[in-house]
Structure 1
Amino acid sequence: MAGWREVCDECLTTLFNYHYMCKQCGYMICIECSKQFSQLTIEKRKKLKRFCSHDDNSFCLSEFIPWDAVLKLRSDVIDYLSRLKIDYSIKLYHSSKAENLSTFIKSLKMKRSHEARDIQKIWSSIDCNCDPNIEFYCNDRLPVFNEWNSENAKQFFRKVWSTSCPVLVKQVHHKLSKTLWLPNAFKEHMIDHHETPALWDCETLAPILTNEDILARFWDGFERLNIRLKDNDHDGRRRILKLKDWPTKKDFASVFPTLLHDLMVNIPFSDYTKRSYKYDNVTYLGGSMNIVERLPSCLVKPDLGPKLYIAY
């Protein structure tokens, strides 16, 4: 329905098309949660955020966009291209700015056919042509890029991306406008807007009530270790703190438009990661391979962030 976002009733992830739904109570879960859900007993299901007591036979695979409609759309596009005498066969056309959409389609096909989502992929330097700018963490499961502009880095990123494995990119901060991202800049914004979000103690998992003075000490603690908050109930240890879910009510783009622009201009692998946004009355388009940018305008698109992780 236009203007509505359907989400998984368990993990609250936005549902794009395929999902499972209980025919008796309407409980909806995404494909990922369905794998875990089917293995749970009724007693364990009661501990979930939302409860469905019906057995697996009550669930059916559902879709918002019928596959027949997709096939018809494909047929109509082929007919249109044929009339224009345009070759619609899948090929890989070289482009200095963006890869052809066929790369995206082929990567999705590869992901589905090999069930890459369930594969714990192990990477090695051989996979990236022994590129000295690529490292591997977490027992070679996490590729780490120290640069992202070379063709070799882009090719290896596409290879990893096609298997749904995560990557880590370092050195991005060297490209950003440093003064915009300093802790003091965030502190001034928070105080100016009289925001007092909760801090969380990462060891006790307990929230800490805050005020402007406590939050000011938190931000200053990034650069001054001696003023960091202490836990008097645990021998005065310095707390490991996280500022959770901030900004709380609005998305990053509306709260920090200048920061968003600075990040989008320098974001690695922008064909895949850049989102569309507006800055100084200029509209900037998202990456050509970003699937969210391909969704119809009538849909409520998922929030692409970026998301701040603020902790020490």
Structure 2
Amino acid sequence: MATATKEDYREEDDHRGSSIRRCDQDQEDKETKEKIIDIDDEEDEPRAGRRSNGSRRLRNQRPLGSYTDEGLGDEKMTKKEKRTFMVSLMCHQCQRNDKGRVVSCSKCKRKRFCIPCITRWYPQLSEAEIAIKCPVCRNYCNCKRCLRIPGIFKYEEKTISEREKFKHYCYILEKLLPWLKDFHEDQMAEKDLEAKIQGIDPTKLVVKKAQCGLDERAYCDNCRTSIVDFHRSCPCCSYDLCLYCCRQVRQGVVPGGYGKPLPQFIFRGTKYFHGGPPQISSPIKPDEPEAPHEATREWKADSDGSIHCPTGGCGSATLELRCMFEDGQIYKLLKTTSAIVGSHDFAKPPDASSSCSCFSLPPHVDSGSSMLRKAAHRVHSDDNYLYCPIARDVKQGELQHFQEHWTKGEPVIVRNVLEFTTGLSWEPMVMWRALREKKTRAQVENFDVNAVNCLHWCEVEINIHQFFTRYAEGSPGDEWPVMLKLKDWPSSTNFEERLARHGAEFNAALPFKEYTDPRSGILNLAVKLPKRVIKPDLGPKSYIAYGFSEELGRGDSVTKLHCDMADAVQEAF
């Protein structure tokens, strides 16, 4: 019978231990082959209804090459080196890994996009172009996360030399001096009238300052125009009236535009909305213009020029003269401006009556010019064309040429402004995804907004999610075609806050930034206002509409070029 020594038992234990260690190593190698580390773990967001531990994601990842037992057993291979052999199927756009083949970016070597997302969200890019440079590297990725990253793209502000700044400031003073003179004369005339009403010498009249804080905006309660300095106010109800409306009341004109005929909607039958002829049984008399209130119609000034508060206010007290600035401040400003303009040899600003270089020999127009676009067909007229430059030419220096047309009050059309943007999509679904908060999706989808029905010319209430869905899919087959327009949505106060990327894209496309830049435009007067005062609403505003260009021959939903209360820039995407 064989006997075993202590050495034999020790050798057997060593052999058994080595076998156990080898089995443990094989098991560890097997587990390493099955589990792949996600190199974008810190970037991908967990989706609702899916496990956040990454187990499902790990099983769907594939290795670029196979590991050998020797390589896996070699402890010199670090974790980072092992990760270079792995590739993930996680799409950066939709954050899913079950949509099949993905295209990886060779530039950043980190982002991937699945074929369905490329087809839907980036139809302008081919797979080869994305493989060379993905949308993230191109700075116009429209996934939810990238759309909400503030400051990812900042437009380049135009640098202006000190000499150019001085030239622009001189241009502003030269243009504003005539207006400032008229403004001061109107105020002095109102002050003389107030002194006559009170029966005192105009030099002894002290105009009381209005109680208006820096965070308040004073405006006329009749015409809604902003009040700069002198105005009349009711001491009882604080009803404010600007000097222009005061002059209308004294002239016997009903202020506010009452008495003018207003266009009224005429119902022409149901068939008319489907392209048929109008059904009018008898001539329709135009509606009577909207009549003002009886007290407003009889709103007249007294023989001495004093004005009583209308029914819109208290209807009893007399309006008193008030001012926004200190006494004599406008006169000091006028005196200083006149001295500066008189002491410098300013370049003569463009004359509104002079012909532009676009016109070769007035009234004959160079119709072959690439900077002109025909806008009218008036006979024997030289203003049938609009100045229509290309954005590339504008950037190289066309400001003086632009001022020649702007002085005449002509609209200007600039083409190809999107050449200087990153190419971020302005599709409404992309904008809606940027606006939608992840935690309040249900609340946003149930949110109703007011839209303009351009077929019936009325306002309708529609679900915001339904509006954007119909934009992409059209109206259901059992419903009438619709032409809806969302006006000023989201509001300008929330546009750049909630659509930071689109706001930067909009500013990058602005032509003639000396005028249009809302932050640093050197010729933009709103930028010159003190920081402590409320500035006017500079936008941007969005107009989102859908429908045919001329649906049923009854109009369209396209926003036309129009005159606003202030100069405006409209970009068409």
Identify if the C-alpha distance between structure 1 residues 44 and 74 changes in structure 2 by more than 3 Å, giving closer, same or farther. Answer: closer
For 1:9, the equivalent position in structure 2 comes to 221
For 1:145, the equivalent position in structure 2 comes to 389
Measure, in 1, the Cα distance between the counterparts of 2:540 and 2:404.
23
Matched, 1:206 2:417: no
For 1:89, the equivalent position in structure 2 comes to 344
Matched, 1:263 2:506: yes
* Equivalent residue for 1:189, pick from 434, 451, 470: 434
For 2:241, the equivalent position in structure 1 comes to 28
Measure, in 1, the Cα distance between the counterparts of 2:531 and 2:513.
21
> Rg larger in 1 or in 2?
2
TM-score by length of 1: 0.64
Aligned 8 A contact 2:229 2:323 in 1: yes
Aligned 8 A contact 1:199 1:242 in 2: yes
* Equivalent residue for 2:371, pick from 123, 133, 146: 133
Q: Deviations over 1:109-148 (max 9, x none)?
A: x78xx9xxxxxx9989418995522324245375433332
Measure, in 2, the Cα distance between the counterparts of 1:174 and 1:305.
22
Matched, 1:291 2:525: yes
Shift of 1:201: 0.5
Q: Deviations over 1:15-57 (max 9, x none)?
A: 15268657798443585998899754897397579x9552365
For 1:245, the equivalent position in structure 2 comes to 488
Paired residue type of 1:173: L
Unaligned runs of 5+ in 2: 1-211, 261-289, 308-318, 378-383, 547-573
Identify if the C-alpha distance between structure 1 residues 135 and 43 changes in structure 2 by more than 3 Å, giving closer, same or farther. Answer: closer
Aligned 8 A contact 1:22 1:58 in 2: no
Paired residue type of 1:255: R
Identify if the C-alpha distance between structure 1 residues 132 and 38 changes in structure 2 by more than 3 Å, giving closer, same or farther. Answer: farther
For 2:538, the equivalent position in structure 1 comes to 304
Q: 3-state SS of the aligned residue for 2:448?
A: coil
Aligned 8 A contact 2:424 2:505 in 1: no
Q: Where do 1:198-237 residues align within 5 Å?
A: 198-221=450-473, 227-228=474-475, 232=479, 236=480
More strand per residue: 1 or 2? 1
Measure, in 2, the Cα distance between the counterparts of 1:171 and 1:203.
31
Measure, in 2, the Cα distance between the counterparts of 1:249 and 1:47.
34
TM-score by length of 2: 0.38
Q: How many residues align?
A: 263
Question: Of the two structures, which has the highest relative contact order with CA contacts closer than 8 Å and spacing of 6 or more?
Answer: 1
Q: Where do 1:18-167 residues align within 5 Å?
A: 21=232, 26-28=239-241, 39-40=253-254, 44=259, 52-53=296-297, 54-55=299-300, 64-65=324-325, 68-73=328-333, 89-92=344-347, 125-126=358-359, 131-138=369-376, 140=384, 142-147=386-391, 148-151=394-397, 153-167=398-412
Identify if the C-alpha distance between structure 1 residues 218 and 189 changes in structure 2 by more than 3 Å, giving closer, same or farther. Answer: farther
Aligned 8 A contact 2:417 2:509 in 1: yes
Q: Deviations over 1:40-76 (max 9, x none)?
A: 4897397579x95523655799864479413424656
Measure, in 1, the Cα distance between the counterparts of 2:494 and 2:323.
28
